[in-house]
Amino acid sequence: MAQVESRKDEIRQLGGQLVYIAAEKRNGIWKPEKYLRAHPVSFPFLLDEDRSVAKAYGLYHRLGHDAFKIAYPATLVITQNQRIEFIYRGASQTDRAALEEVMTVLRKLRSDAD
């Protein structure tokens, strides 16, 4: 999140709007409310407590060596027409999309719209 936050102005200039979603219970093991108080973010942060969003996008991770009933880390770029332009599903809980790859998708969408 820190990497994304550092480029929030550029993301907004490209027409991007971010939403962080965590497949986590409000009072779950990672204590998301406590974490966000200590590390505020400038975009909405939603809790997918029943994992319905993770399941809808095929990101639910029932069981793995580093996961139990959570979501694979993922980055999606979804257009205003609700079309998925980019999806990256991490192979493990530490695997994330390269931010520059996401920025390239946003730049392309911006240039296509102009």
Q: What pLDDT, in 10s, does the model give residues 7-61? A: 999 999 999 998 989 888 888 778 888 888 898 888 898 999 999 999 999 888 7
Q: Are 19 and 43 in contact (CB under 8 A)?
A: yes
Q: Which residues pair with 83 in a beta bridge?
A: none
User: What is the C-alpha separation between 41 and 21, in angstroms, rounded?
Assistant: 12
What DSSP string describes 73-85? -EEEEE-TTS-EE
Domain ranges of the chain: 2-113
- Name 105's Cβ contacts closer than 8 Å, sequence gap at least 6: 77, 85, 86
CATH topology of domain 2-113: Glutaredoxin (3.40.30)
For the chain, percent helix, then strand, then coil, each to nearest 5? 30, 25, 45
Share of the chain above pLDDT 90, in %: 43
